[in-house]
Amino acid sequence: MTARSPFAAAKVATERRLRSSSIRTVIVRPGPFDEIWLSSITGIDADKHRATIFGHGRARANFVSSDDVAEACVRLATMDDPPGEIELGGPEAISRREAVEAYERATGAKFRRIPVPRAAMAAGNRLLRNRRPAVATVMGMALVMDDEGVEVSPEPMRHLGMEPRSASDYITTTSCAVPTSASAAPASDTTADST
């Protein structure tokens, strides 16, 4: 992922520095955050009933709540003997397409799907790296997620005494304020697979 994501490359470089330092550290690697990857920030806009589908959109990820990760970090910081590294994932592995379907069920509205072909993500990642690194990072991470998925076990959180919130719970909660009238639904639905 580091080759396609300035953010991931910076995180790996930081991990390398921490490992070589003399201070005690805990490296936390969360799965994709609900609040980023299941929101309008990355193209799932429940208010407008539309969703960007990166690539095929079928690879699964254990999306995780940023609040759960923050709570896990507090618990790790107060442990006598925390692990040196930990991965944190949500309890449910779902694909981008499944997330959009969950939004449709939660809002009662059909979503317009906007496909972003893999070739466009690769080109955007490469061409925008210096001028718009945040956009390049999203495209690169979305491309890797579409290739490999990001399945991260929820068990480490459970070992910390937590039950992580599911992506479905996040979707249901954030959909509560979204209008569900038929007039708000878009007229067309683009569902073409991108390759």
Q: What is the pLDDT of residues 19-28, one digit of tens each?
A: 888 888 899 9
This prediction has a pTM of 0.82
Range of the domain at 169: 6-15+26-176
Residue 4 has a pLDDT of 61
Number of domains, the chain: 1
Going by pLDDT thresholds of 50, 70 and 90, the confidence category of residue 177 is low
Q: Which of the pair, 112 or 18, is modelled with greater confidence?
A: 112
> d(Cα 63, Cα 183) in Å, to the nearest integer?
31
Strands of the sheet containing 50-54, edge to edge, are: 44-45, 50-54, 112-116
Residue 67 forms part of a structural domain: yes
Cβ–Cβ contacts within 10 Å for residue 121, how many?
23
Residue 5: is its pLDDT beyond 50? yes
Average pLDDT over the chain reads 88
Q: Supply the CATH number for residue 124's domain.
A: 3.40.50.720
- Residues whose CB is less than 8 angstroms from the CB of residue 80 and which lie 6 or more positions away in sequence, other chains included: none
